[in-house]
Amino acid sequence: MTVTAGEARDIILEGRRVSYILRRSARKTLGLRIDHRGLIVGVPLRVRLPDVESFIHSHARWIADKLAARSATVPCFEPTDGATLPLLGGAWRVRLGRGNNRVVWHETGPEPTIELALRAGGDARQLLRRGLQERALALFCNRVEEFCLRLGRPMPAVALSSARTRWGSCSLRSGIRLHWRLIHLPLPLIDYVVAHEVAHLVEMNHSPRFWSVVTSLYPEHAAARQALRKASAALPAL
């Protein structure tokens, strides 16, 4: 099935601006889905935009209720001393200390610990976010290199993303970008996203040939995709 990557759009529903991703494909009906990226609208290839918006408006109440429920369930993480943070699929303890604004990773001992060595007046949330991003970039570079070796492709530039609508992207010109919040997830799910983006170095589309490349890199990609959708709904907000 031919599927477009998706177009980011906005619409006013019940007085509120709602962002959504419009995806056109060889489907026969219009459909709505809400996941970690927000509202996704799937439509047939030749449906006119006014008809798409009319369809969205006809489901305005359902959309509003689902988005409200989703927002209410996203936990807001407070980096207090003793708090537990999901990282690489495990639980890490956060400890606050004094220092020169650096993050110290204690991976041995009774439990893995992230120490935020703050200077006076330092921002614990900002320091934690910076530390997680540094850790994420190092890990992602390692995983991209591994999958590129499997394909016999040179490793592209790797950078972090904070995009609202996708976990990763790939460009032959600028390289691969991966969302830093993937660092909270188990490594197998991170590897699925990495394999997906590395496969785009071969096929810059979502054709059967593309999915054949993904399968060669990550045979269990269908199950991983479903697990990613479920796990991402509970990621902490930083």
pTM, two decimal places: 0.71
Share of the chain above pLDDT 70, in %: 93
Give domain status of residue 79, yes or no. no
Q: With bands split at pLDDT 50, 70 and 90, how would you rate the model's confidence at 14?
A: confident
Give domain status of residue 159, yes or no. yes
Q: Which of 214, 223, 139 is nearest to 181 (CA)?
A: 139
Share of the chain above pLDDT 90, in %: 60
- If asked whether residues 28 and 135 sit together in one domain, one would say no
Q: Domain span at residue 161?
A: 84-232
109 conformational bin, left if phi > 0, alpha if psi -120 to 50, beta if neither? left
pLDDT tens-digit map of 74-125: 567 889 999 999 999 899 999 999 988 999 999 887 889 999 999 888 899 9
Domain boundary among 51, 73, 95: 73
Please state the domain count of the chain. Answer: 2
Does position 3 have pLDDT exceeding 60, yes or no?
no
pLDDT tens-digit map of 41-54: 999 999 999 999 99
- If asked whether residues 122 and 169 sit together in one domain, one would say yes
Domain boundary among 73, 97, 123: 73
Q: With bands split at pLDDT 50, 70 and 90, how would you rate the model's confidence at 64?
A: confident
Q: Which of 179, 237, 229 is nearest to 38 (CA)?
A: 229
Length of the chain as a residue count: 238
- If asked whether residues 101 and 204 sit together in one domain, one would say yes
Which residues are CB-neighbours of 107 under 8 A, at least 6 positions away?
Answer: none
pLDDT tens-digit map of 213-235: 999 999 999 999 889 888 877 78
pLDDT tens-digit map of 175-201: 999 999 999 999 999 999 999 999 999
Give domain status of residue 193, yes or no. yes
Least reliable range by pLDDT among 89-93, 156-160, 165-169: 165-169
- If asked whether residues 55 and 146 sit together in one domain, one would say no
Q: Specify whether the CB–CB gap between 133 and 161 falls below 8 A.
A: no
- If asked whether residues 168 and 200 sit together in one domain, one would say yes
- If asked whether residues 136 and 207 sit together in one domain, one would say yes
pLDDT of residue 66: 83
Q: Rounded distance, CA 229 to CA 158, Å?
A: 23
Does position 149 have pLDDT exceeding 50, yes or no?
yes
C-alpha dihedral, 198 to 136 to 138 to 211, nearest 10°: -10
- If asked whether residues 65 and 154 sit together in one domain, one would say no
Domain boundary among 41, 73, 105: 73
Which residues are CB-neighbours of 169 under 8 A, at least 6 positions away?
Answer: 161, 163, 176, 177, 197
pLDDT of residue 113: 95
pLDDT of residue 42: 92
- If asked whether residues 38 and 147 sit together in one domain, one would say no
Give domain status of residue 78, yes or no. no
* 212/2: higher pLDDT: 212
